[in-house]
Amino acid sequence: MTLYRFAKRIVAIIFFPLYRIKVVGRENIPKNGAVIICSNHISNLDPPVVGITSSRDIYFMAKEELFDNRFLNKLLTGINAFPIKRGASDRQALRKGMNILAEGKTLGLFPEGTRSKTGKLGKPLPGVGFFALKSKAVVIPCAIKGTYKPFHKTVVTYGKPMDMEALRAQKVNAKQAADAIMDEIQILLQ
């Protein structure tokens, strides 16, 4: 068993009862092929929660500074995280993300790039639009609702796959594609 699968089981055993997690729409995640799961970002707990509620193993980008510590580097790498330089165009991270999708795997992205301090959706970074337009991956919007207070309900909703072909046909740019993805997440939050 991989570290990812082991960690997923342990976290699920703890988080599902602690945060009373309810999952809606998991059937919308394709069983095979490249997938991008795009979620709002309200807490440091979002990546593990999306990880345990998804039917697929997910690769997440994490801020580069987290990989400076050798122990944390090994742990994060073992649970499918890879570094990204924030505030700059990180070609290496973009290439890594595209390779993950080319291999038919699942990439988890938080379009805002950072946690929301207010719980409201912020503006998306164009990177999510880049991945959605340049790959042939299925884009699944995801919304996390809750406070992560122990024994209060947290709902994770996976929306229907987005029609990226229609956006490609309209020749939208990465920013416009990112905005369209955020619109779908906003609908799921309402």
Domains of the chain with CATH codes: 3-189 (3.40.1130.10)
* pLDDT, position 90: 84
The stretches in the chain having pLDDT less than 50 are: none
* Distances in whole angstroms, Cα of residue 38 to Cα of each of 69, 99, 126, 150, 182: 27, 18, 13, 25, 8
Handedness of CA 100, 163, 56, 115 (dihedral sign): positive
* pLDDT, position 86: 78
* pLDDT, position 182: 97
**Length of the chain in residues, anyone?**
190
Instruction: Find out whether 90 and 131 touch, Cβ atoms under 8 Å.
Output: no
Both tokens assigned to 110: 């938080």
* pLDDT, position 51: 97
Contacts (Cβ under 8 Å, ≥6 apart) of 134 = 98
Rg for the chain, CA atoms, rounded: 16
* pLDDT, position 120: 85
CA–CA dist 127, 119 (Å, integer): 21
* pLDDT, position 119: 80
> How many other C-beta atoms can be found within 10 angstroms of the C-beta atom of residue 36?
24
